[in-house]
Amino acid sequence: MCEFLGLLTSLSSDEDQNWMCTSTSKGILNCWDLRFGIPVNTIKTDTPIRKLKSSSLHPWGVFSCPRYQNEASLWNLETGILLILQISRSSIIKFELNIILTF
């Protein structure tokens, strides 16, 4: 029997559409290699994820934003390693790379 991973909350792919990442309401990131149609990695995070955006900083990187609006994380989807965790005192983080990096 399959474990319920939560409701789909966001989807993002890299510019070249080589990979795709989905996020769920239970904080699961699923990464797929679109060239071969195979799963690459599943990452369990601590909080439900609200938004995803691919990163131009890292070829397998994706920014995730949990339901709390003052946090953003950069994940390496290939290895499952959290590269950057950014927490802002501001109540709103705009989901754009230049704004995230200025906090």
- The average pLDDT across 71-83 equals 86
In the chain, domain spans: 8-102
pLDDT in tens, 5-62: 889 999 999 889 999 999 999 999 999 999 999 999 999 988 888 888 888 877 888 8
Position 58 scores a pLDDT of: 78
CATH domain 8-102 topology: Neuraminidase (2.120.10)
Q: Is 97 exposed, middle or buried (0-12, 13-18, 19+ CB in 10 A)?
A: middle
Q: Is the pTM of this model over 0.85?
A: no
Position 46 scores a pLDDT of: 85
Average per-residue pLDDT in the chain?
A: 80
